[in-house]
Structure 1
Amino acid sequence: MPRLLWIDASARPGRSDRDAYGSHTRRLTARFVERWRAARPGDDIVYRDVGQSPPSPVTGRWIHAAFTKPELREDWMRDVLAESDALVDELIAADVVVAGVPMYNFNVPAQFKAYVDNVVRVGRTFGFDRSRAGEPYWPLLAGMGKRLVVLSSRGDYGYDPGGRMAAVNHVEPSIRTPFAYLGITDFRSVAVEYDEFADDRLQASLQAAERAVDDLVDDMLRAQASRAAA
């Protein structure tokens, strides 16, 4: 059975379909998971709320520990890396990652950036050997069939490719790049726009995003069924 890792990164604790000031991205990730669970109730689903419980940011001690060979690490190094190890273990075990990541000032929330910094780990999610011929870096999660879905929200509009604000959208690119570096290249995304306008355009965008999430889940479930039958 595949395992789904569900990540929420919004600073807002509620869902916009239930709470007056709730999060659109939490609304979309919950919809994704509910539809997936209805079709595949036996699948494992692991939840990680980095919006409300952010991972610790990378420090000098973290870097020292991470770049020390495991067999040479002191006890304090293992302690420093314990949270990162738990996050990496979850990512490695997941077949599907669905992440709700709103746009904050044109990029991802600091909480989600801290998550990314904790899972991009030398020796665990990417390899490095300065003596290796050609490219000294290589992905360690490639070839595992992992799929990444990012569900976002934006205050303004026109951030999709070709849109009026596309050049300043650093959310999807800043997620796609590090995960591809680790070997996760199957990337899908859906976003809500017009949040700051709070008018009919927002409602239309929410409805379109919900339909897109439903279609995405159905497409991924068909692909999963095909894999199982192969």
Structure 2
Amino acid sequence: MTNILHVTASIRSDESVSRKLGNRLVERLRDRTGANVTLRDLANNDLPLIDTDRFAANLTPVAERGEQARQLAAIGDDLIAELHAADTLVLSLPVYNFTMPSTLKAWADLVARAGTTFRYTESGPQGLLTGKKAYALIASGGTPIGSEIDFLTPWLRHFLKFIGITDLEIIAADGISGVDGEEKIAAALNAVDALEPRAVAA
């Protein structure tokens, strides 16, 4: 049995195009592999921002944490456990103001933990979440994905590589606020259907 972690971030709930694309892919993966699916909806989880105390708690070994540190580190522990358990990561992401939703950045700050999801070596940082497959389903109203004003996808590729996830496929419905928006959404859905999706064998 394989495990899929589906991370969503749109504030638009059922109207979200990125959710629609991600749900379509997750359904195909689940039908094909019988995978378990964990949903992490960042828009509804009120993730905390990293501050000095939470940063220190995250880096404190579990056996050495006091009660306050355990409470502060708990959400990061949960998010990292979801990533460790997942063979396949599906990210449903809107573009807000040329880049990621702030909730995705909060998630990234909580899961990027030295010694747990990456480590420092003499040759530089080394990601520890290797062997996973990632898909990003992205929707934007006006930002062309891959253009010089797209600050989401370069960051996303770099961040996932930083924590060890190098196998990433991106499907985007961009410019959907234009007159041909419905056609672009349909094309992105067709691109999802044309994938040969796989959930990495456990």
Fold conserved between structures, TM > 0.5: yes
Whether contact under 8 Å (1:155, 1:193) holds in the other structure is: yes
Map Cα deviations across residues 9-61 of structure 1 (whole Å, 9 max, x no partner): 001111xxxxxxx1100110111112222223x31111111122232111111
Return the letter of the residue paired with 1:174: W
Paired residue for 2:72, among 56, 80, 102? 80
Query: Matches of residues 1-230 of structure 1 in structure 2 within 5 Å?
Result: 1-14=1-14, 22-40=15-33, 42-128=34-120, 134-142=122-130, 145-156=131-142, 158-160=144-146, 166-197=147-178, 199=179, 201-216=180-195, 219-221=196-198
Aligned-partner Cα distance in 2 for 1:136–1:171: 24
Matched residues in 2 for 1:69 and 1:35: separation? 39
More relative contact order, 1 or 2 (CA 8 Å, 6+ apart) = 2
Identity of aligned residues (%): 31
Deviation track 1:67-120 (CA, whole Å, cap 9, x = no partner) reads: 334443222111101001000000011010001110000110001111111111
Structure 1: gaps of 5 or more residues = 15-21, 161-165
Q: Report the TM-score, using the length of structure 2 for normalisation.
A: 0.92
Greater gyration radius: 1
Paired letter, 1:67: L
Length, aligned pairs only: 202
Q: Cα distance, 1:136 vs. partner?
A: 4.9
**Shift in Å at residue 64 of structure 1?**
1.4
**TM-score normalized by the length of structure 1:** 0.82
Structure 1 residue 157, shift from structure 2 partner: 5.1
Higher strand share: 2
Aligned mates of 2:171, 2:86 — CA distance in 1: 20
Give 5+ residue unaligned stretches, structure 2: none
User: Structure 2 vs 1, CA of residues 59 and 27 (structure 1 numbering), >3 Å: closer, same or farther?
Assistant: same
